[in-house]
Structure 1
Amino acid sequence: MTAFAPVQPATRRDLTALFAPSSIAIVGASNDPGKYGNWLAVRALRDQDTRPAYLINKTRSTVLDRPASPSLTALDRPVDLAVIAVPAAGFDEAIDDAIAARVKAIVAITAGLGESGQDALARQNAIVARLREAGIPMLGPNCLGVLDNTTGLDATVNEFRPGSVSIISQSGNVAIDLAEHFTDQGLGVARFASLGNAADLDVADLVDSCVDHDGTEAIAVYCEGFQDGRKFARAAARAADAGKPVVLLSVGRGAASTRGAASHTGSLVTSTVVLEAVCEATGTELVSSPFEMANLLQGLVRTRPPAGRRVAVLADGGGHASLASDSLEDVNLAVEEFSGDLATTLAAELPETASVSNPIDLAGGGEQDITSFVRVAEHLIDSPETDAVLMTGYFGGYGDYDPAMAVGEVQAGRDLGALVAQSGASFIAQTMFPDSAPAQALRDSGVAVYRNVEHASWVLSRLTQRAQVTSHPLPELPEPAQPLTETGYWIARRALAAAGVPFVPAAEVATAEDLDREVAQLRYPLVLKALGDEHKSDKGGVILNIADRAALDAAWHDLQARLAPPTCSIEEMADLSAAVELIIGVRRDPTFGPIVLVGIGGVYTELLKDTRCALGPVTAAQARTLLLSLRGSALLTGFRGKAPVDIDAAAELVATVSAYAAAHPEIGEIECNPIAVTPTGAIALDARIILPPSTS
């Protein structure tokens, strides 16, 4: 049985001095306005009244008309945070000086280290070893610094509007781009940390720190790679369980990552699939652009996730009402017709021309009485028939249409925001006028506001999905078992059978004499498989429905003549008349560990690509959920009069394979395809285990 543990705080490093230092020193402070050392010094001195700032320059006694010291150790007072912006040639000396001065944290702006080749990487690793021995955390090197708007720390080179979202980014430019999108959405930054080379502190360390930070409501992560995927998973799951969602933007998610994969499982489990599985397990939201990230974060920090899929559409115009309804249904949300009682209640607030069945079209009600938006919204929020409200269309533009309405429209925005805040409702808005004063009143009151209805609908859909899972226990990896050192069909078959995977009776044969001896133990009809080629069925290497000894001899001689396989497998033929064929596999990701795959299998695996993945190992209950989430799951539950198959048996088989793979970290890929699942059980008809070249 797979063991699961609640998300435990990993061994976390104290990063107080990184985000809330009592003093700061700029090592490499400069008078040259073209250098980072100048920009950082200017910003540090700007906050000197609240946080002492010291300038370090080996050759100048003054910088920016302020006294400068030749080294940290030459100062007569302690330094919490040292920001190092010296050329790469002087970086070791600056680090040794910081260690000797007993600084509490380091931000390394310096480039030209681990990103510059193997020799520089070895040098960087040696520096990190010295820092860890001294107990000093380092951000970077090759980074853009750190900022904490809640403590007033500004040790970076760009402006970040204050807010409640923390940004952890491997790319400084992406972080700046993201901050611009935040501004467009009315969001701001609590913390910013530039990972750079992430030689010491990694994304998981910083996520963990943000979970413990009162000023952070959500965490935006841009990462180009994870040193320890399981460590990140633990931190992200902890963040989700603490109500501080992580939104992840990553690169390298294309199909190129699976080149050289040796099995169907390997080719189907792309880097994107791996990230999707990890994100699903940890409650992390995966996005594809800074724009998507900002859109989703606005919803996450301003909108309570809906308890269900039923959305009420509130519009002032039939066109927007219809567009919003279609957009919601496109993302699997429901715009259900209201009951007669609710429709009657709404009609009492609106002109006779209004439509009140859902979607609601105020039909000019806004022009006649702008407060009708608030009254209708209140009825919708109070109704048990709705889980969320999407307001869409012209709100925000009435003041331009009639200046006399401007003040009332802004007040309506405030009143809507107050209503949502007081009720805790799931309420989201789209408007043609997102920069208007009424739209700003909505944002200031805590309502998420979007320009495009498809974006509002997409965010509402993501929030609805998020509400379905409230905790994120992660699978524990077992202690490694005795490793496999060689593979082959029969080695894989025996190993998996010993682990509890059921197979049809069979025997391995290399000669006609072997065939004579082994066939006596088997029942017809039989299958004869030529071994040594994973695509044996495509080459006529699998002969089915062998009814008697004469047919077996003919099949044997045919395979020897055409393919000359080193060995063959002779197996009893399973009755597939009532069976569904599945594929079950595990691919070991070098960063995140075992990733479990299930799907519709057999010869249609590559054609249909109907698969689902999860961070492994999985329990039988999780495996059952995966199986029932396949597009072809109706084949399992009974389709067109066929009896349902034994999903529980299939799920147990998935759990067994995943547990075996998790206990064997030397295995690169493992696959059982097909698995025949019948109304009475599940049985493996084929198996492959693949070791990476270095271990085979």
Structure 2
Amino acid sequence: MERDLSALFDPKSVAVVGASDDPAKYGHAVAAQALRAPGRRPVHLVNRRGGTVLGRTAATSLAAIGEPVDLVVISVPGPGFEAAVDDALACGARALVGITAGFAETGPAGLARQQAVAARVRAAGAVLVGPNCLGIADNTTELYLASDRFAPGDITLLSQSGNLALELQLRCAPHGLGFARFVSLGNQADVTLVDLVEDAARHDATRAIAVYAEDFGDGRAFAEAAAAAGKPVVLLTAGRGTASARSAQSHTGALTTSADVVTAACRDAGVELVGTPREMAVVLAALNGRRRAAGRRTAVCTDGGGHGAIAADAAETAGLAVPELTADAQRQLRTQLWEQSAVGNPVDLAGMGEQDPHSYGDTVNALLALDEIDSVLLTGYFGGYSAATGGLGGGPAAETGTAGGGGALAAGEQETARRMADRATTTAKPLVVQSMFPDSPSCRTLAAAGVPVFAATEDAARALKALTVPEPGGAPGVHPLPPPAPPLRASGYHGVRALLGAAGVPFPEAREITDEAGLLAAADAFPGPYVLKALHLLHKSDAGGVTLGLPDRSSLLAAFRDMHARLGAASYSVEEMADLSDGVELIVGVNRDPRFGPVAMVGLGGVLTEALQDVAFALAPVPAARAERLLAGLRTAPLLRGVRGRPAVDVAAAAAVIERITTLAAAHPEIAELEVNPLLVRPDGALALDARAVLA
């Protein structure tokens, strides 16, 4: 249920409890900020000693104010926090900001205190940000309750780190970006990251949502909220590289790391995942415009081969494609470029820009008009001519002593910048610029028109990646969890097979046996060849607990006697041998993450799964169409399509089985790990050959 946070961002009145004249105390910084807009709403300063704070009379308590207060900021030592919360609620506060530390971050006792405070706040119908936070700010309502100022703009910043928020502000400033709101998340005892994302999505003045989070709380709910926001969400997080704390008992558990889970959740939700504050600022700057590339095909335009080659490499590293232009496109470019110009892609003016700066704009506009191109990256010297006349740099004309032409070159460059800017506003395709002179008049003209301009090639490539639709049809979306199913009580092999079989996952015939009599009865139930498996082993193949292709009863019996003598397993499975010819073995698994819930893994299966690690992840359940796209993205996808005379396999059948497996796992919260490995996919369908489940 969406929460009403209006009292948090646009309160009728504000009180700062713990306001101080001591610059070393946080209550001083918050009080000073709160007083920046005294005409917007009453601002009350509270200090138990009374007197004056920042030249204003301070009340000794909230009750002493003598009137209700809508929002209360509490910045007092830890032992006094609960009493301050109770006083605020008694005075009718509808929102509280808890700056005080010493709660969940200190251990179980602190967590218990925090939970008790949050329960009282909710019971009173109020909301609490924090505790252990650094305040909030809303430039749209002139609410300043953090220690620092945030330049006004249209980004909502939700951060668990104050210093990172300040760095992000500094990195956004050169791009002309500012903030509508800032919220320090703190411990999220009451108001959560999800609540704030949902509220920012409804906030008309917010264009994009920037998040730094170490603790997602309910990660799946965050992904759902981000997917539904209808606005760009950019996430910076830490600790993504550590493995799951659970002792994995399957390939799926062993291969699923925190990084995989967060990456999959962000991709499914359409969230831009970044690794540094600099990258976050680059992506936010890129997303400032409305243009998006419908595909990955990028044209690189330059007036120097070195810049073009580096930009092409950077684009491909970012996940874009730099395809060779068709013969028709190259002929068209030849009509307007020099003979020595390269037109294959990268398109290199080869010095033509020094003679005719309009060649930059003419070439960029021609590339934007090509149906075979989705976006354009202009890289290198553009901006240098106007920079030279503006005192920002020197161009070739200055270096060669022909500065007399510098003014004409600068004027021509600024004119072509205006033409490019006009073109950029009328096309749906994005143009991104990397310039040695990003602050030049020509580059400022482009930036003012919404064309992202960067000094670093890798930043321009990353920006272009952010402007590229990741898949046909956009982000896959976060699919709802199915209703919980009756819990699985026994996780034995045949019990798991039966559960999956009832969900429509096909298996070969099989019987569980414990002795020779049962073995021979199973051999009479279906024809050979047979498979014999020792049950209740973690990796049966490694332990010598699987024998394939036993042609008849006698070989089956001999294999059983040998295996039982070696392993002494309590039970075994006799199974009909599947036809492995022309088949590809896949793995399908679901691992239940403590933050994001069920996470699916699909990839190349069999005994080499962990060695090859050719797998892909998504939040479960995974619809069949999504499963097909995951399979198509594997490094070994050509095996599925058929190579070296082998026929293509039935990927649609495999995708349908993946949907059934992942839906089943998502409906059973008691299952920590569920895995089908291998899932044999042949030209005529898919067949599960082994399965296991681990209960939480």
Measured against the shorter chain, the TM-score band is: over 0.9
Q: 1:560 aligns with which of 564, 587, 590?
A: 564
The more displaced of 339-348 and 476-485 is 339-348
Corresponding residue number in structure 1 for 2:391: none
Mapped to 1, the partners of 2:294 and 2:308 lie a distance apart of 22
Shift in Å, 1:174 = 1.8
Q: List alignment gaps of at least 5 residues for structure 1.
A: 1-10
Q: Aligned match of 2:147 in 157, 178, 185?
A: 157
**Match of residue 624 from structure 2:** 620
Tell me which of 163, 167, 170 is aligned to 2:160: 170
Q: Answer yes or no: is 1:489 the counterpart of 2:479.
A: no
Contact 2:520 2:553 in 1 (8 A): no
CA distance in 2, matches of 1:684, 1:356: 51
Matched, 1:669 2:666: no
Whether contact under 8 Å (1:306, 1:387) holds in the other structure is: yes
Residue type of the alignment partner of 1:622? R
In the TM superposition, 1:194-233 aligns within 5 A as 194-233=184-223
| Aligned AA (1:508) | E
Give 2:645's aligned amino acid.
G
The aligned length equals: 679
Change (3 A) 1:466 1:160: farther
Instruction: Kindly report which structure 2 residues correspond to 1:178-193, keeping only aligned pairs within 5 A, or say none.
Output: 178-193=168-183
- Among residues 345, 348, 356, which one is paired with 1:361 in the alignment? 348
Q: Does 1:300 align with 2:287?
A: yes
AA aligned opposite 1:245: P
Q: Check 1:344–1:214 CA distance in 2 against 1; reply closer, same or farther (3 A cut).
A: same
Relative to structure 1, the CA distance from residue 344 to residue 496 in structure 2 (aligned partners, 3 Å threshold; closer, same or farther) is closer
Is the contact between residue 112 and residue 120 of structure 1 (CA under 8 Å) also seen in structure 2? Answer: yes
Alignment-derived partner of residue 582 in structure 1: 586
Q: CA deviation at 1:385?
A: 4.3
Deviations 1:527-546 (A, max 9, x none): 11111212121121112222
Give the Cα–Cα distance (whole angstroms) in 2 for the partners of residues 108 and 395 of structure 1: 50
When residues 386 and 254 of structure 1 are mapped into structure 2, their CA distance, relative to the original with a 3 A threshold, is closer
Aligned to 2:544: 540
Matched letter for residue 440 of structure 1: R
Q: Which deviations, in whole Å up to 9, do the C-alpha atoms of 1:619-650 show, x marking residues without a partner?
A: 22222222222221222222211122222222
Q: Deviations over 1:288-314 (max 9, x none)?
A: 222221122211123611123333322
* 2:9 pairs with 1:19: yes
Unpaired runs of 5+ in structure 2? 389-393, 399-405
Give the secondary-structure state (helix, strand or coil) at the position aligned to 1:91. Answer: helix
Q: Over residues 511-537 of structure 1, what are the superposed CA-to-partner deviations in whole Å (9 max), with x where a residue is unaligned?
A: 222223332213121111111212121
Partners of 1:644 and 1:482 in 2: CA distance: 38
Note the C-alpha offset of 1:349. Answer: 5.2
Q: Which of 252, 257, 265 is matched with 1:278 structurally?
A: 265
Q: Give the match for residue 402 of structure 2.
A: none
Q: Is the deviation greater in 565-574 or in 641-650?
A: 641-650
- C-alpha change, 1:555 and 1:332, in structure 2 (3 Å) is same
Match of 2:381 among 360, 378, 394: 394
**Do 2:19 and 2:53's aligned partners in 1 also have CA atoms closer than 8 Å?**
yes
Amino acid at match of 1:46: R
1:87 corresponds in structure 2 to 77
User: Which residue in 2 is equivalent to 1:118?
Assistant: 108
Q: Distance in 2 between matches of 1:469 and 1:194?
A: 35
Question: Quick check: 1:258–1:266 contact (8 Å CA) kept in 2?
Answer: no
Pick one of 315, 321, 345 that aligns with 2:308: 321
Contact kept in structure 1, 2:268 and 2:475, CA below 8 Å: no
Contact 1:433/1:439 (<8 A) preserved: yes
Q: Is the 8 A contact 2:45 2:58 kept in 1?
A: yes
The answer as to 2:255 corresponding to 1:251 is: no
Distance 1:367 1:681 in 2: 62
Aligned-pair Cα RMSD in Å: 2.2
**Do the aligned residues in 2 keep the contact of 1:161 with 1:188 (CA within 8 Å)?**
yes
Aligned residue in 2 for 1:7: none
Instruction: Call closer, same or farther: CA 1:469–1:190 in 2, change over 3 Å.
Output: farther
User: Distance in 2 between the 1:355 and 1:544 partners?
Assistant: 59
Equivalent position amino acid for 1:267 in 2: A
d(CA) in 2 for partners of 1:224 and 1:175? 14
| Residue 680 (structure 1) aligns with | 684
1:254-306 Cα deviation digits (max 9, x unpaired): 24325511110111121111112211221111122222211222111236111
For residues 101-140 of structure 1, what are the structure 2 equivalents within 5 Å? 101-140=91-130
Q: State which of 268, 279, 303 in structure 1 corresponds to 2:255.
A: 268
Match of 2:597?
A: 593
What is the one-letter code of the residue matched to 2:284? L
1:373-452 superposed matches below 5 A: 373-398=360-385, 399=388, 400-401=394-395, 402=398, 404=407, 409-410=413-414, 412-452=416-456
Letter in 1 for 2:117: I
Write the distance in 1 (CA, Å) between the matches of 2:642 and 2:332. Answer: 44
SS in 2 for 1:208: helix
Identity %: 49
Task: Give the SS at the match of 1:538.
Answer: coil
2:227 counterpart (237, 240, 254): 237
Q: Given the superposition, is the C-alpha separation of residues 142 and 653 from structure 1 closer, same or farther in structure 2, using an over 3 Å criterion?
A: same
The alpha-carbon deviation at position 553 of structure 1 amounts to 2.3
- Deviation of residue 426 (structure 1)? 0.9
Query: What letter matches 2:468 in structure 1?
Result: T
**CA deviation digits over 1:416-453, x for unaligned, max 9?**
33431243441100011224343333323322111222
Contact 1:258 1:271 in 2 (8 A): no
Deviations 1:607-628 (A, max 9, x none): 1111112111122222222222
Cα gap change, 1:483 to 1:182, in 2 (>3 Å)? same
**Deviation sequence 1:551-577 (CA, Å, 0-9, x none):** 222212111211111111111111111
Q: TM-score, normalised by structure 2?
A: 0.92
Query: Which one of the candidate residues 337, 349, 357 is aligned to 1:370?
Result: 357
Distance in 2, Cα, partners of 1:570 & 1:347: 70
- Partners of 1:546 and 1:194 in 2: CA distance: 65
Query: Do the aligned partners of 2:294 and 2:469 also contact (CA within 8 Å) in 1?
Result: no
- 2:648 is aligned with what amino acid? P
Residues in 2 aligned to 1:490 and 1:200: alpha-carbon distance in whole angstroms: 45
| Offset of residue 600 of structure 1 | 0.9
- 8 Å CA contact 1:269–1:587 kept in 2: the answer is yes
CA contact (8 A) 2:432 2:463 kept: no
**Contact 2:45 2:59 (C-alpha < 8 Å) held by counterparts:** yes
Offset at residue 580 of structure 1 (A)? 1.1
Q: Who is 1:634 aligned against?
A: 638
Cα distance in 1 between the residues matched to 2:518 and 2:84: 73
The structural deviation recorded for 1:605 is 0.7
AA of the residue aligned to 1:59: R
Shift of 1:587: 1.0
Offset of residue 407 of structure 1? 6.0
Residues of 2 paired with 1:250 and 1:48: CA distance?
36
Deviation (angstroms), 1:356: 4.5
1:51-101 per-residue CA deviation (whole Å, 9 max, x = no partner) reads 321101122132122111122232233323211111111111111111111
Structure 2: distance between partners of 1:342 and 1:634: 30
| 120, 140, 147: which one aligns with 2:137 | 147
One-letter code of the match for 1:677? V
SS at match of 1:392: strand
Distance 1:601 1:336, change over 3 A: closer
Distance 1:51 1:416, change over 3 A: farther
Deviations 1:182-237 (CA, angstroms, capped at 9, x unpaired):
22444222211110111111111111111112222211111112222232122101
**1:237–1:472 Cα contact (<8 Å) kept:** no
**Aligned equivalent of 1:5:** none
SS in 1 for 2:97: strand
SS class of match (1:534): coil
What is the CA–CA distance in structure 1 between the aligned matches of 2:252 and 2:67, rounded to whole Å? Answer: 60
Matches of 2:347 and 2:553 in 1, distance apart?
74
